[in-house]
Structure 1
């Protein structure tokens, strides 16, 4: 591929729970998945991250999740369709308002954590999220797991879609992510992560946890902002991709 986007989950800090360095990450990535308050973040912290994204020319994406602040949105939630749709609409509306106040706009949506993984395989919840996006702004692009059910559901509903690959997460042989409860699910070695992403960009495959290769069709690479060594991984990944002749460019429209 000639170019690829680099994204990170940001806006997740609060005074009592600092999980990442948004200022540093926003000098590296081209897209920012900004928390909407349900799984992490506070209004003032989210606004600060949006301000910084606009200053750095980084594309803004909404990062809605289950209403699960205690578990950082990483616990599966049993939820009916009407409630899930309303929860996602609420989060998107809030972030769109804050982004506008910061002088930017929301260009895409990337669901967070357990919700992200659920809609990669659960068509009912995927349809709920897609319905929420269409209700708020049908021009928003949906960013999801490569090969995930939600991308098919969204495409059928008329939404533009993009897929992502994960720099710092281990893959199962079927292309799903390895559960964070399993050893080796989260990667931290900056050089190994960067080499893995260069190989992906050049060949379209990622080595799964069992040693087999998984073909991944993606337009963006994610480095989680709350991972240990996140800044080093993002920096090295960007550097090595550029040295390999692969440009770093956003997949969606500019946020400002």
Structure 2
């Protein structure tokens, strides 16, 4: 590979509460996943974030999560496939309204937090969500873990799928992300995140939590905005990739 997309989750503040390093991250990414009001975000954040992305030519995606603002969408909930489908449609449609009103185009959908992981392993949830996105707009891309149930469901219904890697996370041997509750699951050292980003693009490999590696073929890398020094880390990753001759651009089907 000689090209990669860099994405980040934005617009996760709400009301009087600021969150993340959105303005700084915008200088490093090519795609943005905008919170849609369930796990975080609100209508004003959505509008403002959409407008900032359009000003910079950054691809806009919906970032729907579970209705769990208190837990930031990172706690699993018992939801039916139909409920999950409705959650995704409701949030994606809300963001689409702001994108269209601003003269832009919605490009992709990336699930948030627990919903992301649940749809990666639960076939019924994966099929319901991929089908909902396809019915909403078959031209949209769906971001997710490579080799997951969600990838299978997207491929089977004809939806474009973009396999995603994480620069600051370690993996399990089966290719799933290691739980955030485990020591070493999240890296806070820029050097490790930079090295993993380069490895994901050039070698197609990522580090496992037990010190090994796992094959990980990806087309986009997530740069988390809710970690310490997130903006500086994102900048360093971008600069390192460019220095390796890697082109950073939004994914296409």
Short-chain TM bin: over 0.9
Aligned length: 253
2:3 corresponds to which residue?
3
Please state how far the C-alpha of 1:199 moved relative to its aligned partner: 2.0
Q: How does 1:137-152 map to 2 (within 5 A)?
A: 137-152=137-152
- CA distance in 1: counterparts of 2:113 and 2:48, whole angstroms: 22
- CA distance in 1: counterparts of 2:229 and 2:59, whole angstroms: 23
Q: How does 1:213-232 map to 2 (within 5 A)?
A: 213-232=213-232
- CA distance in 1: counterparts of 2:33 and 2:19, whole angstroms: 14
Q: Is the 8 A contact 2:61 2:107 kept in 1?
A: yes
Please state how far the C-alpha of 1:15 moved relative to its aligned partner: 3.8
Q: Deviations over 1:15-48 (max 9, x none)?
A: 4443211111111100001111111001101111
SS at match of 1:19: coil
Please state how far the C-alpha of 1:213 moved relative to its aligned partner: 1.1
- CA distance in 1: counterparts of 2:94 and 2:241, whole angstroms: 35
Unaligned runs of at least 5 residues, structure 1: none
Please state how far the C-alpha of 1:191 moved relative to its aligned partner: 2.0
Q: How does 1:60-71 map to 2 (within 5 A)?
A: 60-71=60-71
Please state how far the C-alpha of 1:252 moved relative to its aligned partner: 3.4
- CA distance in 1: counterparts of 2:181 and 2:4, whole angstroms: 29
1:199 corresponds to which residue?
199
Please state how far the C-alpha of 1:81 moved relative to its aligned partner: 2.1
RMSD: 1.2
2:248 corresponds to which residue?
248
In terms of mean alpha carbon deviation, does 121-130 or 80-89 score higher?
80-89
TM-score, normalised via structure 2 length: 0.97
Q: Is the 8 A contact 1:107 1:252 kept in 2?
A: no
Please state how far the C-alpha of 1:200 moved relative to its aligned partner: 2.1
TM-score, normalised via structure 1 length: 0.95
- CA distance in 2: counterparts of 1:48 and 1:135, whole angstroms: 27
2:36 corresponds to which residue?
36
Q: Is the 8 A contact 2:170 2:208 kept in 1?
A: yes
In terms of mean alpha carbon deviation, does 89-98 or 78-87 score higher?
78-87
Query: Which stretches of structure 1, 4 residues or longer, exceed 3 Å deviation after superposition?
Result: none
2:81 corresponds to which residue?
81
- CA distance in 2: counterparts of 1:148 and 1:19, whole angstroms: 30
Q: Is the 8 A contact 1:65 1:115 kept in 2?
A: yes
In terms of mean alpha carbon deviation, does 146-155 or 12-21 score higher?
12-21
1:109 corresponds to which residue?
109
Q: How does 1:122-141 map to 2 (within 5 A)?
A: 122-141=122-141
2:58 corresponds to which residue?
58
Unaligned runs of at least 5 residues, structure 2: none
Q: Deviations over 1:117-166 (max 9, x none)?
A: 11111101111111210221111111101121100111001111110100
Q: Is the 8 A contact 1:59 1:252 kept in 2?
A: no
- CA distance in 1: counterparts of 2:224 and 2:245, whole angstroms: 24
Q: Is the 8 A contact 1:163 1:220 kept in 2?
A: yes
Q: Is the 8 A contact 1:47 1:98 kept in 2?
A: yes
